[in-house]
Structures are given as C-alpha cells and as structure tokens.
Chains A and B, each alone.
Chain A
Amino acid sequence: MLFSPWATVAIFFVVAVVVALLISAVPGIFTSKRPNRAKSEAYECGVPPTSAMIGRFPVRFYLVAMLFVIFDVEAASFYPWAVRLRDLGAFGLMEMVTFIVVLGVGYAYVWKKGGFSWR
C-alpha cells in the first residue's frame, strides 16, 4: 500500500511541513545576530525610514479601477458572443440585450450619482 496515491500526498504533506519548519528554524540557529537600531528597522533595509511605509492614494483611484474592471469584463464577454452570433440567432440577441440593459441601469446609476466625476 506504500505506493497508493495517498502515499504521495502524505509524503508531500510531510515534506512541506518539514521544509517550512526547517527554513524558518535553521537561520535562527546558524546566523550570527548583531543587531543595531538601524538594522532592526523593518523597512528600507537598514536605512532609517524617511516616510510612512504605505502611501495613501485617493479612493478615486480604486473607484476608477473597479469600474474599469467591470467594463473590461463586459467587453470580454462580448467576444465569444459576437463570434457565434449567427448560430445563436434571435435568442442570443435577446440574451445580450438583457445583459446590456442590466449593465446600462448600473452605468446610468453610477453616472448620475457622480461616480465618474473626479472631485
């Protein structure tokens, strides 16, 4: 039974755990530690930090990025549909109209609520 598929998994599992433990434990044992204040800083690698670690972006960037993703996905879903339009026929047309209507309402809502204005 040693060569059952489960043996592979079990070996993998054990190796993963052991390797992870070794990697985190071995440096702690073998490295020499001579810390000073600058080296203990987690950020900018031994140089005293000069600014906050995380810069602050205006939330508008995220908003635009998200809207982009939505319309990008929409466009992507047009390609396969367009390729097979003739085969799908009227049914396919109706499907896409429904899709665009739903999306359109959302688009109008975002527009009206000022989602596109860079205030």
Chain B
Amino acid sequence: MDKFAALVLVILLLPLAGAVLISFAGPYLPRVAAAVIANGTLLVAFLMTGIVALTGWQATSSGQTIPQHFAYGTWALIPPLKISFGLLIDPLALTWMLIITGVGFLIHLYSVGYMASDRNYRTFFAYMNLFVFTMLLLVMSDNFLWLLVGWGGVGLASYLLIGFYYDRVSAVLAARKALIMNVIGDVGIMIAIFLIYAHLGSAAYSDVFARVASVGAPALTAIGLWLLLGAVAKSAQLPLHTWLPDAMEGPTPVSALIHAATMVTAGVYLIARCYPIYDHAPVAAEVVAVVGATSALFAATIGCVQYDIKRVLAYSTMSQIGYMMFAVGAGAYTAGAFHFLTHAFFKALLFMAAGIVIQNLGGEQDIRKMGGLAGKMPLAFWTFLIGTVAIAGVPPFAGFFSKDAVIDAAIALHHPVLGAFLIIAAFLTAFYMFRLLFLTFFSGAYRGDGAPHDHPMVSMNVPVVVLAILATVGGFLAAPLGAALRLTFVGALHDQDIATINWPVAAGAFLLVVAGIATAYALYQVRPQLRESLIRALAGPRQLVMNAYYLDTVYHWLVEVPAYAIADAAAGFFETFIIRAIPLAASATAAALGGFARAWESGQLRRYGLTIAVGVVLLLAWYVITAYAAASQGVLPQ
C-alpha cells in the first residue's frame, strides 16, 4: 500500500476510531476528552482530505494523472461473487468528503458548546463520529455493496441521533419514522444492486459503468428507478419526505449536519455517481428530474406557513435538495454538486444560527413567540441574515450562483415546465426565508414569555462566523469545482458548465427574488392587517398547506392502517395457529411419546435404541428399494 492509499484509508477510519474510543472508554473519560477526540479526529481527517484534494488539483493542473482508485484487497470471495474493498477518491467523492469532514468539524465544534449541559454528552459525540464514518464510507466506496453499508449506516446514525432525547416520546416516534422511511429506500437500493449484479455481473463502479452500454434501456431504467427509491427516501423527496420535518426533534447540530448538510444529499450523490446509468436510461433520469422539481415547489409552499423555526428550515432543505435532484436528473451533474456545496454552507449556517436563538430562548422554537431579537442577539441575527440572503439567491452570495446554475440547466436542457416550478420555488424561497427572518428578529417587540439574552460561547460563535464567510464567498468556487468535476463526469451527455452565468435568466430570477423579499416585507413588517385578511381569505388552502397536504394522514390510512390490519390478522391467525401451535404440538407429541414410553415401563433409553433401530431399517430400506428400482430399469451394472 503506497502512502496515498494509506492516507485515504486513515481519513475513513479516523472518525470510526473516535467513535469506538469514545464508546468503549466513554465512562472513564472526562467530558472534555470526548469532545477533544471527536473534534480532533474530524479536524485531522479534514486536513488530510484537504491535502489529498490539493495534491490532486496540482497534479491535474500540471497535466499529470494521479490514481483515484485504491484497492485494499478482497473482502469476501464466494465464487462467483467477489467483493473487494477499495476506495474511489475522485473529484466527486472529494467534494462530498471535504464538506463531510469540514462542515462536520465545524458542527462538532459548535456541539461542544450547544450540548455542554447534556448528560449524554459523550454518547452524542460517539454517535456523531459514527455518522461521519458511515457517511464517508458511503461516498468513498468504490462499489455498490460498500455504498449500501454506508447507506444503512447513516440511516442508523440518523435514527440514533433523531431519538437522542429518548425520554421524549415525540423524538422516539420521529426516529422510528425516519428509520422506516429510510429502510424503504435501503430496500430499493438492495434491489437495484441485485439487478445490477444480475445484468452487469459486478457491483464495482468501474465494471458496472464500463459495461452500461452493453445492457438494454429497460434494465437500466429499472435499475435507475430502484436507485431513485433509495435516493428519495434518503434525501426526503416526494413521496418519502415526511420523516424530515419530524426529524427536527433531534438536537440542532444533528439537524445541521445530518438533515441539512450531508446525509440528505446522499441521494444526489448516488445519482451523480451513477451518471452513466442515468445517461443511458433517459426515462429514469426524467423521473428523477420531475421528482426533484416537484419536491422543490411542494416543500417551498409548505415552508411559507410553518411556525416552527426548525421545520421551516427542514422544508427549505427538502426544497433545495429538490433543486439538486432536478439538476442531476436533467443531466447537469456539476450544477447539482455545486448547489450541494453552497447549500451545505448556508443551510448549516442557518441551522446553527437558529440553534443559538433557540438556546438563548431556553428551547423555544415557535417563531410566533419570538420577534425583535435583532438587537438582543446581534451575532445570531447577522449570520442568519447572511444565510437568508444566500439561500434566497441574492448576488453575490453563494446561493445566487448555484441556484442560477440549476435554473440555467433547466432552460438549456429544455425543461420548461420543471424550470417554471424551480423559478416559482425561488420566489417562494425568498418569501418564506424573509418571513422567517422578519418574524424572528423584527416584526415589533419580543412576543415570547422568556427572557431573551445573548450568551456568547466561543465554540458556537466561531463555526457560525466561518460558515457565514463561506456562505458569502462560496459562489466563487464555481470555476475550480467545475474544472475538477469535469474529471469525474467524463462523457456525461448533458453536463453543463457552471462557471458561465446566463445573465438574462439570472436577472429575471433575481427580480423574482426581490419580489419575494418585498412581499415578505410588506406582509410581515409594513401591513400586518393585510396579512390577517389574506389568511382569512385563504383559510381553506392555508389549512391544506399547513398540514403538509395531509400526506401524513394519507399515509396513515393508506399504509399504516392496512398494515396494522394485516399484522393483527396475522397475529390472530398465524401466531395462534402456527407459531404457538408448533411448540404446542411438539410438546404434545413429546408428552404423548413420553407417556408411551412410560407405559412401556423401561424408561427412555429403550426408546432411544428403538429409534436408532427404526432409523437403520428405514435407511437400509431406502437403499434396497432405490437400488432395486434402478437395477430393474437396467441402470446399475449387474
């Protein structure tokens, strides 16, 4: 193993080592040691990832090629199935790795302060490190099987962290819901892997993508759709999105890391990674684009009427991931990855700034009980403002460039309807984000019953400021990112350049954004009466949207109720008459045999002997009968 291969393996294993160390040595460690281990492993992993990325960048720009694929040997050889363990460190994986380790480190740092008074402090860091490890495995793997391991692993870590406050029933229920939804997706990926193995004879990316052209479109479409099932479950897209708002029951750093910056973008990564499959399966790709654009619009409408600060952010996450999904579905893989990058910055920033507000208000999340906080929490306000303008798409903040790249792609790749969805969603995004900003930080005086105070903590403020800077300048990463990802998306049919801006489109989108901001300003700052009358006029539709289109209820009646009915029937019939009947019958038989034996006077030993004798006779009879039958047909030699 050369140095480079060892280095990337260490990046992967460091967070795991941290998780194992904290788990097993946890009770004997001081709290600060757990925090140092968790943060240290991530910081080192991030620096090493940076070294790898820079080395690759330098080598590429000086015209050299460096290895991207590192094989570490065979994990299992069960002929004909061979599962090897290897890592694929190409620009696509590196983009995700940098965010996972970099933003992950900042969020870990933030957690040092945010979770300071929690009694399960060490457990929290163990789970967080476990999450980072599984997420890294997901993006670094060089084949579908290890991707699935990481895929399941992030689901597990997410489950553990959503249910972190396990003494709250709502948290436990939310965790369970997230797990079930995610497992539906895992099954989709498993079926996709089975199909891939059946049609392409391997699970390694290099083999699969090289052989894609030799397989017919129907099979590839099936594979693409099953993969999409996994992607929509993990990335909270329609129709498997309902777990994400509930997942906000987890601690805020968890929402920032897992349910905004990294895990929920795994679906985008998966589809970008499988670009050769989607390029050859246009139907599946079209479905991805439709799902993405619809989700973007759908979630944006719900975001407009929610009152829980974290739920608004959750729906906005779903909406933004819709943009990414649309981009990768339309074939503009680089634009999708670019939006992932900027989104990680500003969404993590928004969650962490919201976390400061929530903590300073003693856990209050309802924006109706906030207001007028701008002066009381200046740092939270300014950073939240930066995040808001970034997500809304105000130039020159990061979101402007990436969202524009996605909308450009929609137009360039001839998706008029879906493009319109995205543009309306952009308007709504600006509206609901500024609504959130106004309700939280302005719109009159403080409406809650707590005592707002600013309680500055270095470990929480530093990461917020760093992310605010990144959310400001992140848009200028377009050129280097585009250049790097060109190495991954070799031969992609529709990939678009993200560095050039289509100015007319950008200007039009910007005007809509301004309109959205102005609407929010009018309704929430200037004319609250207008808002009231609007709410009254639109009471019916508003109720529909506020309840997220009653999808939870629909699923309840469509899935849960029949499932429970089937389960109850099964429990009534299957359990009573089969599961319980087997041991009962067995014991009855045993009792009967026992009584038989007792009546026989000599105890069990004779029965054992008799059984052996009967067995011998039957065995001999089998041989004699089969051999005689064979002999009489002349099969055996005489």
In the complex, chain A residues whose CB is within 8 Å of the CB of B628: 4, 6-7, 9-10
In the complex, chain B residues whose CB is within 8 Å of the CB of A10: 624-625, 628
**Known contacts A1-B631, A1-B632, A4-B631; is A9 also within 8 Å of B638 by CB?**
no
Interface of A is mostly: helix
Cβ-neighbour of A13 out of B620, B631, B632 (below 8 A): B620
In angstroms, Cα B634 to Cα A31, docked, is 47
> Is B624 a contact of A4 with CB atoms below 8 Å?
no
A 20-61 to B, binary, CB cutoff 8 A, 1 in contact else 0:
000000000000000000000000000000000000000000
In angstroms, Cα B621 to Cα A13, docked, is 8
A5 interface residue per 8 A CB criterion = yes
B 623-635 to A, binary, CB cutoff 8 A, 1 in contact else 0:
0110110011110
In the complex, chain B residues whose CB is within 8 Å of the CB of A13: 620-621, 624
Closest Cβ of chain B to A20, distance in Å, is 10
In the complex, chain B residues whose CB is within 8 Å of the CB of A4: 628, 631-632, 636, 638
> Is B621 a contact of A6 with CB atoms below 8 Å?
no
> Is A1 a contact of B624 with CB atoms below 8 Å?
no
In the complex, chain B residues whose CB is within 8 Å of the CB of A7: 628, 631
A-B pairs under 8 A by CB, number: 28
Closest Cβ of chain A to B636, distance in Å, is 8
In angstroms, Cα B634 to Cα A2, docked, is 11
In the complex, chain A residues whose CB is within 8 Å of the CB of B636: 4, 6
Interface of B is mostly: helix
**Known contacts A13-B620, A13-B621; is A1 also within 8 Å of B634 by CB?**
yes
Closest Cβ of chain B to A111, distance in Å, is 34
In angstroms, Cα B633 to Cα A6, docked, is 12
Closest Cβ of chain A to B308, distance in Å, is 82
In the complex, chain A residues whose CB is within 8 Å of the CB of B621: 13
In the complex, chain A residues whose CB is within 8 Å of the CB of B624: 6, 9-10, 13
In the complex, chain B residues whose CB is within 8 Å of the CB of A6: 624, 627-628, 631-632, 636
Closest Cβ of chain B to A43, distance in Å, is 12
B contact residues, total (Cβ < 8 Å): 12
Closest Cβ of chain A to B605, distance in Å, is 14
Closest to A5 in B: B638
In the complex, chain B residues whose CB is within 8 Å of the CB of A5: 638
In angstroms, Cα B628 to Cα A2, docked, is 9
Closest Cβ of chain B to A31, distance in Å, is 22
In angstroms, Cα B354 to Cα A81, docked, is 96
Q: B residues 604-625 with Cβ under 8 Å of A?
A: 620-621, 624-625
In angstroms, Cα B76 to Cα A98, docked, is 48
Closest Cβ of chain B to A40, distance in Å, is 13
In angstroms, Cα B630 to Cα A5, docked, is 12
In the complex, chain A residues whose CB is within 8 Å of the CB of B638: 4-5
Interface centre among A5, A6, A7, A10 (most CB of B within 10 A): A6
Closest Cβ of chain A to B543, distance in Å, is 83
In the complex, chain A residues whose CB is within 8 Å of the CB of B620: 13
In the complex, chain B residues whose CB is within 8 Å of the CB of A1: 631-634
Closest to B630 in A: A6
Closest to B623 in A: A9
In the complex, chain B residues whose CB is within 8 Å of the CB of A9: 624, 627-628
In angstroms, Cα B176 to Cα A68, docked, is 73
In the complex, chain A residues whose CB is within 8 Å of the CB of B631: 1, 4, 6-7
In angstroms, Cα B627 to Cα A13, docked, is 13
In angstroms, Cα B624 to Cα A10, docked, is 6
Closest to A9 in B: B624
In the complex, chain B residues whose CB is within 8 Å of the CB of A2: 632
Closest Cβ of chain A to B223, distance in Å, is 55
In angstroms, Cα B625 to Cα A6, docked, is 9
In the complex, chain A residues whose CB is within 8 Å of the CB of B634: 1
In angstroms, Cα B598 to Cα A60, docked, is 31
In angstroms, Cα B621 to Cα A5, docked, is 15
Closest Cβ of chain B to A4, distance in Å, is 5
Closest to B629 in A: A6
Closest to A16 in B: B617
Closest Cβ of chain B to A12, distance in Å, is 9
In angstroms, Cα B629 to Cα A7, docked, is 10
In angstroms, Cα B627 to Cα A2, docked, is 13
In angstroms, Cα B628 to Cα A10, docked, is 7
| Additional 18 contacts, C-beta under 8 A, given A1-B633, A4-B631, A6-B631 | A1-B631, A1-B632, A1-B634, A2-B632, A4-B632, A4-B636, A4-B638, A5-B638, A6-B628, A6-B632, A7-B628, A7-B631, A9-B624, A9-B627, A9-B628, A10-B625, A10-B628, A13-B624
State the B residues within 8 Å of A (CB).
Answer: 620-621, 624-625, 627-628, 631-634, 636, 638
List 11 contacting pairs A-B, 8 Å CB cutoff, sorted by A: A1-B632, A1-B633, A2-B632, A4-B631, A4-B636, A4-B638, A6-B631, A7-B631, A9-B624, A9-B627, A10-B625
3 closest residue pairs by CB, A with B: A6-B631, A6-B628, A1-B632
